[in-house]
Structure 1
C-alpha cells in the first residue's frame, strides 16, 4: 500500500496536515482489515470532507480507479451508491453513454472503488467553447439522463408541498437582500403552482441526485456519469432542473435565449428526450426550476460576476413564472 498525497498546497497548513494524517490512518486501518484493499495503490486526495469522507485516486488491480472512503461515523450512503451503480452498469457499460464501473466495495470498512472515467468535466469544456459549439455537447446530457432513468420510471401521486417547503427554508438563508426579494416573489408563484400540481401524478425514477455538468465527463468516445452518491427515487424533473440551473445561475446560455432563467434550447433538449407532456413541460419542470433556484443559496464569498449572473437568472425565472401564473 502506498500513502496518499494532497493535490494542492493551501494556506492552512496545520489543518491540511491533520486532515492528511486522518485519511492516512483510515487507509492503514482498511488495508490491515482487507487484503484486497491492502493491494491497492493509493494516490492523491481529490477531495476530503473531514469527519465524513475522502475521495482519492488509486490503482486497483492495475486499473486507474477512484476510492470513496468513509472517514467518520456519519452514513454517507455507500450501500445505496453501490447498489445503484450495479443496477445501472448493465445499461451504461457499452456505447457512447456510459458510467464509471463499480469495481469493489467493503461495506464494513466504508470503502468503495470505481473505475476512473475518461474525459473532462462537461462544465469546463462548455466554458471554453463558443455557445453554438457548446450547445450540442450539453444537449447530450439530456440523452444520458434519459438513458439512465428509463428503466426505473413510474407514475406516482405528486407531492409538491415538501419541495416548496425546502425551497422556502433555503431561501431564508439568502444573504443578498435584492436576491431575497426576488426569491420571495418566486415563492408566491411556487405556492400557486403547488395547488395546480397537487392531486395530479408525476413521473419518478431512481435519479442521479446531483446531476450537474461537473458530474459528466466527456471524451472523444464517451459521455460518462460519475458520483452517484445522491441517487434516490425522486421526480425526474429534479435532475433536469439541477443541470439547467447550475448553468443558468452562472450565466451560461449557449443558445443565447433564456426560458425560466435557464437556456431555452437546452431545456427543450430535456423536454424532447423525456417526451414531457404539456403538463410536465409547462408546470412541473418550471416548478422544479423554481425550487432548484432557491435551494442553492449564493454566499458572500462569490465574485461580483457570479452575483450579477444569479440576479439575471432570478429575474428571468420570475418574469416567466409570472407569465405562467397569469395563464393558469
Structure 2
C-alpha cells in the first residue's frame, strides 16, 4: 500500500506540467504547480499559484464543471456571512482550480484545543457551517437502509478481505443490519450535503470566518451522513473527549440534526461511514487500531 501511494505521488508529479498545459490551452490561465499534496482514488491534489494567488488544483474529477458550478452557487448564497465557500476559479475536462482557503485547518484547531468548552464551541460552528450550506431547502421523509447496506455488502464478498479485517467487518455489518431494522421507517432529514465534510476541508481564519472547500457536485442526502463523515475522519487520528454519545458529538450535530436523529440515524451513519473506511486502513497500523476502537466503541454505546 505504501509503495502504491509513493508511485501514485510520483506519477502525479510527473503529470503536473501536463495539467498546467491543458488548463492554459483551455482557459488561457497560467497555473504554476508547486507540489502534489495527495493522490486518492485516481484524483491528484496540487498546491500552486495563479496570477499571484495561492490556489489548489485537482486533476481526475470526472465532473469538474459541475463541482465548479456547485461551489460558485454556494459561494454566492453564503457570501458575507461567517460561513463561506472558497471561490472556484476554473474547470476544464477533469481539472478544477479553486482559491486556497484562508486560515487554519479546523482539525489542527480542534486538536490544539484538546477538549472543553472552547473545542465544543468550534465543533458547534462546524455544525453551523453544514446547516448553513444545506440552506432552507430541507425535506423530511421516511428512512430506508437498503441502498446503504448494499453499498458495502457488494464490494466485499466473503473471503475477499484480510482475515483480521474480516472479523471486524463481520461484526460491524451484523451490527449495521440490526441497527437498520431498528431505524427502518424513522423520520430522516435530507438536504444539500457537502459530500466530504471533514475537519480537513474546513478552515477557520483570523476573523472567525469558517471556510468550506473540496465540495462535491450538488447532492441531496441524509444530513446525518455529513455529520458522520466529519466524526469518523477526525477520529482516525484524534479522540472525542467523551465518546460517541457525549457533549462533543452533540455540539457538532446539534445545529444540523433534529434531536430525534441523535440516537437513531446518526449511529447508523457512523457505522456506515466506518464500513466505508475499514478495509483500506489495515496498511496503517495506527489508523487500523483506531478503526477497530471506533467499531467497538460504537457497538458498546449503541448495543
Task: Give the TM-score taking structure 1 as reference length.
Answer: 0.78
Over 3 Å counting, the alpha-carbon distance change for 1:203 and 1:181 in structure 2 is same
How far apart are residue 275 of structure 1 and its match?
A: 4.7
CA pair 23-46 structure 1, distance change in 2 beyond 3 A:
closer
Which of the residues 241, 262, 270 maps onto 1:289?
A: 270
Map of 1:302 onto structure 2: 284
Q: Over residues 65-96 of structure 1, what are the superposed CA-to-partner deviations in whole Å (9 max), with x where a residue is unaligned?
A: 223334xxxx5221221121122112322232
The Cα of 1:160 is off from its aligned counterpart by: 1.0
Give the CA deviation at 1:230: 6.0
Asked if residue 218 in structure 1 is aligned to residue 204 in structure 2, the reply is: yes
Q: Kindly state the Cα deviation for residue 276 of structure 1 after the two structures are TM-superposed.
A: 0.9
CA shift at 1:289, angstroms? Answer: 1.0
Partner of 2:111: 127
Equivalent residues of 1:170, 1:296 under 8 A apart = no
Residue 81 of structure 2 aligns to a residue whose secondary structure is: coil
The partner residue of 1:57 within 30, 47, 50 is 47
Task: Report the RMSD for the aligned CA atoms in angstroms.
Answer: 3.1
Q: Distance in 2 between matches of 1:87 and 1:24?
A: 30
Change (3 A) 1:58 1:302: closer
* Shift in alpha-carbon separation, 1:123–1:13, aligned structure 2, 3 A: closer
1:236 and 2:223 aligned: yes
Q: Secondary structure at the match of 1:93?
A: coil
Instruction: Name stretches of at least 5 consecutive residues in structure 2 with no aligned partner.
Output: none
Written as runs of structure 1 = structure 2, the 5 A alignment for 1:108-127 is 109-127=93-111
In structure 1, runs of 5+ residues without a counterpart are: 1-9, 323-328
Residue 26 in 1 paired to residue 19 in 2?
yes
Report the counterpart of residue 206 of structure 1 in structure 2: 192
Change (3 A) 1:43 1:204: same
For 1:78, the equivalent position in structure 2 comes to: 64
The structure 1 residue matched to 2:293, chosen from 309, 312, 315, is 312
Matched, 1:269 2:251: yes
Question: Secondary structure, in 3 states, of the residue corresponding to 2:302?
Answer: helix
Tell me, in whole angstroms, the C-alpha distance in 2 between the residues paired with 1:16 and 1:182: 30
Is 1:68 the equivalent of 2:58?
Answer: yes
Deviates more, 1:110-119 or 1:80-89: 110-119
Q: CA deviation at 1:207?
A: 0.6
Q: Could you say which structure has the larger radius of gyration?
A: 1
The Cα shift of 1:149 comes to: 0.8
Residues of 2 paired with 1:252 and 1:50: CA distance?
24
Distance in 1, matches of 2:7 and 2:284, equals: 25
| Structure 2 Cα separation of the partners of residues 286 and 17 of structure 1 | 39
Q: Which residue of structure 2 aligns with residue 47 of structure 1?
A: 37
Which of the residues 213, 227, 238 maps onto 2:214?
Answer: 227
